[in-house]
Amino acid sequence: MKLLIKSATIIDPSSPFHNKKQDLLIENGKVSKISKLIENPNKYKEIELENLHISQGWFDTSVCFGEPGFEERETIENGLNTAAKSGFTDVAVNANTYPVADNKSAIEFIKNKGNNSATFLHPIGSLTKNAKSEDLAELFDMQNSGAIAFSDYNKPIANANLLKIALQYVQNFDALVFSFPQDNSIAGDGLVNEQINSTKLGLKGIPSLAEEMQITRDLFLLEYTGGKLHIPTISTAKSVKLIKQAKKNGLNVTCSVAAHHLVLTDDELVSFDANTKVLPPLRTLKDVKALIKGVNDGVIDIITSDHNPIDVEHKKVEYSAAKFGTIGLESLFGALNKVLPLETLITCLTTKPKNRFGIKNISINEGEKANFTLFNPDSKAIFTKDCILSSSKNSVFLNKKMNGKVYGIIANNKVVL
């Protein structure tokens, strides 16, 4: 790959060129020169785009692709293409496949399917066998085969002793355990946030208490066992407080928030559109404000799309029968660029998640590999079905205003624009 990027504003606090508009010369997959003006006597291919900004490649820590088992929702090939065009050079893929990715062979299958893509695929192994929360899966073998963490996607570990044993066991090989923050004995068969809107609309509620009780339990377990815990997609104001205090107490805990929980509230439910049915559910404006503050204060470490394609047969049904989940890769940047400072958003998509998951940060500098996301932070648009690249179209952001446009990525010696 021989390429010249013209007039790009570099957003990378680790780079000596941070906040500077520069030309970048890329040869054989590496940045050979960065300068205010680079001539092109060899007539390399040039990339010159409106208001071009580049950052380190973005990493999404919670992505679902249907393959194997649910290819009608999304294949790995199309999912990785969608991720690349949405700005992601790395994605962590959840184990909610059929069969569940709970063993070495399943991890190797998923990883091999991602070979030769511009976007790097990092499998997450199921924490328990068949994600049934009964027995631990083959964690050590899966890590040796490429799993970067362990999670029963969107399924809480009801058995506290099982999570305790998991946190103790994985310390032998320094692995990261996820624990989904929901107590199902409290959540029951709830569909949406338990609040005024759920009462008005006659929809069964999931109280904030269900999330906060589970987080409290998990933090007590972590304090007892040690180890590394990640709490994905928190959604309430009190959850932020609980994790903030745990970090002050020295616990090795991180958390993430899904993009839709930073932007949308349960006021969206009035449409009875099943695309608004997500887990955890959309909460109140008070929660949204607390989550944004949590990101800005550094309590919340990671932002994810929580991309979860669901086929039309499981979304175009009555609300109670619809599956939880929304796609989010294509909309993440445009939705969040209007509620968070640009540098904060980029940090929560690059250095923070990569540090937690043990993925190397590649600074934008001469001599380093070309691993970039290309975007325009000032573009305005409406997110329509034409913007969706996923096989499934279940987006909670349909017809919402977007602030920012992603051009694509340069990674793995490939250009996807």
Residue numbers annotated as active site: 306
My answer on whether omega of the bond before 13 falls inside 30° of 0, hence cis, is no
Rounded distance, CA 331 to CA 281, Å? 18
Assign 206 to helix, strand or coil: strand
Among the listed residues 274, 324, 328, 373, the one whose alpha carbon sits nearest the alpha carbon of residue 10: 373
Q: Do the Cβ atoms of 101 and 131 come closer than 8 Å?
A: no
* DSSP secondary structure of 86-134: TTEEEEEEPS-SSS-S-SHHHHHHHHHHTTT-SSEEEEPBPSBGGG-SS
Query: Which residues have C-beta within 8 Å of that of residue 309, sequence separation ≥ 6?
Result: 64, 65, 66, 73, 74, 79, 325, 327, 390, 391, 392, 394
Q: Phi first, then psi: give them for residue 315, nearest 5 degrees.
A: -120, -35
Asked if residue 281 has a cis previous peptide bond (ω within 30° of 0), the answer is no
Residue 396 is given by DSSP the state: T
Q: Is the dihedral of CA 118, 119, 121, 122 positive or negative?
A: positive
Q: What is the 3-state secondary structure (H, E, C) of 145-175?
A: CCCCCECCCCCCCCCHHHHHHHHHHHHHCCC
Question: CA nearest 147: which of 115, 177, 181?
Answer: 177
Burial 129-140 (b: 16+ CB within 10 A, else e): bebebeebbbbb
CB 66 within 8 A of CB 35: no
Give the bridge partners for 30, in sequence order. Answer: 27, 369
Total residue length of the chain: 417
Cα distance from N-terminal residue to C-terminal residue, the chain: 14
